[in-house]
Structure 1
Amino acid sequence: MLGRPAAGGRRAALTVLSALALTAVHPAAAAEPPPARGPLPSAAQTLGADRPSQQVLRALERDLRLTPEQAAARLVNEAEAGTRAGRLHNALGKRFAGAWVTGATAVDLTVATTDAADAATIRAQGAKAKVVKTALGDLRSLKQKLDAAATRTHAQDTPVWYVDVRRNRVVVQTTDRSAATALIKAAGVEGRGVAVRVSADRPRLMADIVGGDPYYINGTARCSVGFSVTKDLQQGFASAGHCGRAGARTTGYDMADQGTFQASVFPGKDMSWVAVNSDWTATPDVRGEGMQRVQVAGSVQALVGASVCRSGSTTGWHCGTIEQHDTSVRYAEGTVDGLTRTTVCAEPGDSGGPYLAGAQAQGVTSGGSGDCTSGGTTFYQPINPLLGEFALTLKTASGRLGTPTPGPNDPKDSWTAGRVYGVGDTVVRAGVRYQCLQSHQAQDVWSPEGTPALWQRV
């Protein structure tokens, strides 16, 4: 538990109250970035993977059993792999069947395709090629049919289903095989490559434990702050939707007034944001081990297999790897789609806390199973859909929050800071068209012509 504020220092003391600290934001005036000079930055330089926080390195060493050198090399290699995967995703189009990384430090990139003729193209990008039967788009369509059927069946014996790109299949996790079979039949996807995995795990929401480093909802339930955000001139933070409904009041660790939930979605998604009062202001900081701070540089989505670290008010700072994106989880309180499954442990009270891949924001804790003594599985709500849903701007270490607005003569698809872009999206910048390589929220310091890690000219 943190100490009380020193005399005359309430605002300063309030900056380290939760999983993500809060201090002042001074939006910079929108301005055109200067033209790029010299060599363009590498993916690792753009994403901040070449200068990782010691908090991230130490946690990776502990939880993934790496040396400091191995942890640093892994972060750089994962960043570079993400850009190569994005280029191949765009090049293969509908034949693309997923990408993932493996290995402790060398981080081999594998890209799957439905056409063996693509193998040479994949290898030319330094990746391993895997030829599979089903494209990623078709796997996602299968999962969407399960999503729709799940809203009708409400069977608690099939708590998780997800797209498994490494095995080119959709998986239904169940405690009762007959229940999984019934869901697959209800979705009309029998015989279409949907696998059943029997497990006793039943994910639960990570909330409502007293103690630690909390923020409280209506003075009782407890969750962890996620990432600092802004909307127009209002400052606040992102968290999990199950933590509170719109209009619910929040207080800090000392029960002093903090803010109000402005919007919340749960179930379906698990996302919310809280607007804070004038005693609280936003920083790009996440609480790492020993109350030290880790800074957020952006929100570039990491690949399956990449390392990821989580902060929470119950169990603190822990790391693991990403297992699957596009996972659906059926909690007792309702089903949530579009989550990411990880090997990071968590416990009740960690809900809403932030996940980072290096310096890149990934999402906020939703729920899971197990604990941080015996190990477990956790799921997070990805941050980019949350930012897009509520029109929020992530607070980053660059401090550049200006959102340029296209001029009257600019095309409607002009690149704009503050927007969330997905792989394959195209924009126009200074008369040149670019295609997105990795899902992220655009920052004014990340214009397409200067970030080949995120954009390719087309």
Structure 2
Amino acid sequence: MRRTTAIRTGLSVILLLGTWATAGLVPATAAVPEPTATPQASTGLLTAMQKDLGLTQSQAKATLKAEKTATALEGDARRAAGASYGGSWFDADSGRLTVAVNSAERADDVRATGAAVRLVTHSAKELDAVKKRIDSLSAPAGVSSWHVDPKAGRVVLNIVASAQDDNGVQKFVERARKAGPVKVEKTSQAPTTFAAGTVGGDPYYTGNVRCSIGFSVHGGFVTAGHCGSAGASVRGWDNSAIGNFQGSSFPGNDYAWVSVGSGWWTVPVVLGWGAVPDQLVRGSAEAPIGASVCRSGSTTHWHCGRVLAKNETVNYSQGAVHQMTKTSVCAQGGDSGGSFISGDQAQGVTSGGWGNCSSGGETWHQPINEILGRYGLRLHTA
């Protein structure tokens, strides 16, 4: 069923685009295409948003439209805020982008762009500096992650509840508080990567590991770095050779890219696994905090949630990974490397998280535009 769906989608892409990318293309400079003017949402996507986010169909449609407006507005609002910019997020209740500023003098300039304004004490630059100082500390296993929270105006430390009284955790929190404004929150579990093992969400294999394809780029696909080292060979869902890892980084980062050859080709598609129609990828405009986002992976297939935080440092047992985006989407082993997409815009590749898709949990992804820029890749778009 899944493979038939993917092939049918591929045929429709041929008809729409006229050409496909072929194996062996040389990667070009990273590019961030502009989002399409009108949100494109299939019935299946709206159904998934209703199920996972608790929305009605009309609310799901309105959410997608408002999120696209907020995404397009974010750059102008940030420029209007200037040095007083304290971060931004999408407010699902109001359907508007909210921008934090630490200067009342810039508030009217930001409002003029159409964004709502919240006055805060610290600028984003100040909070980023606090996070950078915390990044330099060695974190014990009981510290899950940390990120700048523009709503709270602080750096939030996520501590595993069962380890909150450990001496190492308490010392880390004490040192972190000396770095600047910090807020401590509890989480139920420590994060783990989702490796178990070129269409987004499809499985691939390297050694005894199964992971998931993230997004097609010209010449290959991007995925998670913990799934394989540079030079490692990759097999597809049918166990035939695809190519090799051309670049890989983990920990510190969690991204990689794989070349495509041996009769394989790339398409700008993310698998819907029958839950939704396979999704065309039209760009990589980054959705704001609070926006809806969906994930495709080879184990748990298609699930949706919201963006919870950006630029979060995640403390895996293998080492810390920086500049991650946290979401409320669930995932499980084998989903690593899979696609995170908001509407028709690529967001990132699945790294890890905690929980599962039966009881719920949280998952992090490595932002796609960072990966494209790091390796000089160009996203394959429809």
- TM-score normalised by structure 1 residue count: 0.73
Q: Is the 8 A contact 1:81 1:109 kept in 2?
A: yes
**Larger-gyration structure (1/2):** 1
Question: In 2, distance between residues paired with 1:3 and 1:301?
Answer: 29
Residue 79 of structure 2 corresponds to residue 90 of structure 1? yes
Residue 253 of structure 2 corresponds to residue 269 of structure 1? yes
What are the residue-to-residue correspondences of 1:139-154 with 2, within 5 Å? 139-149=127-137, 153-154=138-139
Question: In 1, distance between residues paired with 2:274 and 2:377?
Answer: 29
2:334 maps to which residue? 349
Question: In 2, distance between residues paired with 1:326 and 1:138?
Answer: 14
1:166 maps to which residue? 151
1:54 maps to which residue? 43
What are the residue-to-residue correspondences of 1:289-304 with 2, within 5 Å? 289-290=273-274, 292-304=277-289
Match of 1:378 among 355, 363, 369: 363
RMSD: 2.5
Residue 229 of structure 2 corresponds to residue 245 of structure 1? yes
% identical equivalent positions: 41
1:225 maps to which residue? 213
2:295 maps to which residue? 310
Amino acid at match of 2:249: V
2:268 maps to which residue? 284
Secondary structure of 2:136's aligned partner = helix
What are the residue-to-residue correspondences of 1:424-439 with 2, within 5 Å? none
Q: Is the 8 A contact 2:35 2:283 kept in 1?
A: no
Question: Structure 1 unaligned runs (5+)?
Answer: 5-10, 17-22, 31-44, 398-458
1:136 maps to which residue? 124
What is the Cα deviation at residue 284 of structure 1?
A: 0.5
What is the Cα deviation at residue 213 of structure 1?
A: 5.2
Secondary structure of 1:299's aligned partner = coil
Question: In 1, distance between residues paired with 2:128 and 2:324?
Answer: 13
Secondary structure of 1:395's aligned partner = coil
Residue 94 of structure 2 corresponds to residue 110 of structure 1? no
What is the Cα deviation at residue 316 of structure 1?
A: 0.7
Paired residues in the alignment total 357
What is the Cα deviation at residue 186 of structure 1?
A: 4.2
Question: In 1, distance between residues paired with 2:290 and 2:9?
Answer: 36
What is the Cα deviation at residue 278 of structure 1?
A: 3.5
Secondary structure of 2:205's aligned partner = strand
What is the Cα deviation at residue 103 of structure 1?
A: 2.2
131 and 249 in structure 1: CA distance in 2 versus 1, 3 angstrom threshold: same
Question: In 1, distance between residues paired with 2:154 and 2:251?
Answer: 25
Q: Is the 8 A contact 2:193 2:353 kept in 1?
A: yes
Q: Is the 8 A contact 2:340 2:348 kept in 1?
A: yes
2:21 maps to which residue? 25
203 and 94 in structure 1: CA distance in 2 versus 1, 3 angstrom threshold: same
Secondary structure of 2:279's aligned partner = strand
Question: In 2, distance between residues paired with 1:98 and 1:257?
Answer: 44
Moved over 4 A (4+): 1-4, 11-16, 184-187
Match of 2:346 among 361, 365, 371: 361
Amino acid at match of 2:203: P
What is the Cα deviation at residue 184 of structure 1?
A: 4.3
Question: In 2, distance between residues paired with 1:258 and 1:102?
Answer: 42
Q: Is the 8 A contact 1:328 1:337 kept in 2?
A: yes
Question: In 2, distance between residues paired with 1:228 and 1:98?
Answer: 31
Residue 336 of structure 2 corresponds to residue 340 of structure 1? no
Amino acid at match of 1:229: V
Question: In 1, distance between residues paired with 2:154 and 2:128?
Answer: 10
Q: Is the 8 A contact 1:307 1:319 kept in 2?
A: yes
What is the Cα deviation at residue 80 of structure 1?
A: 1.0
Q: Is the 8 A contact 2:294 2:305 kept in 1?
A: yes
Residue by residue over 1:240-265, the C-alpha shift from the partner in whole angstroms, topping out at 9 and shown as x without a partner, is: 00000011111112211111111000
Match of 2:67 among 69, 78, 89: 78
Residue by residue over 1:189-240, the C-alpha shift from the partner in whole angstroms, topping out at 9 and shown as x without a partner, is: 527211112323211100116xx9521112x11000000012xxxx210000
What is the Cα deviation at residue 2 of structure 1?
A: 4.8
Question: In 2, distance between residues paired with 1:201 and 1:73?
Answer: 34
309 and 122 in structure 1: CA distance in 2 versus 1, 3 angstrom threshold: same
Amino acid at match of 1:25: A
Q: Is the 8 A contact 1:146 1:183 kept in 2?
A: no
Secondary structure of 1:167's aligned partner = coil
Match of 1:389 among 365, 374, 382: 374
Question: In 1, distance between residues paired with 2:108 and 2:80?
Answer: 12
What is the Cα deviation at residue 272 of structure 1?
A: 0.3
Question: In 2, distance between residues paired with 1:14 and 1:317?
Answer: 16
Secondary structure of 1:246's aligned partner = coil
Q: Is the 8 A contact 1:340 1:382 kept in 2?
A: yes
2:113 maps to which residue? 125
Residue by residue over 1:111-136, the C-alpha shift from the partner in whole angstroms, topping out at 9 and shown as x without a partner, is: 11001222322333333221111101
Secondary structure of 1:263's aligned partner = strand
Match of 1:260 among 230, 238, 244: 244
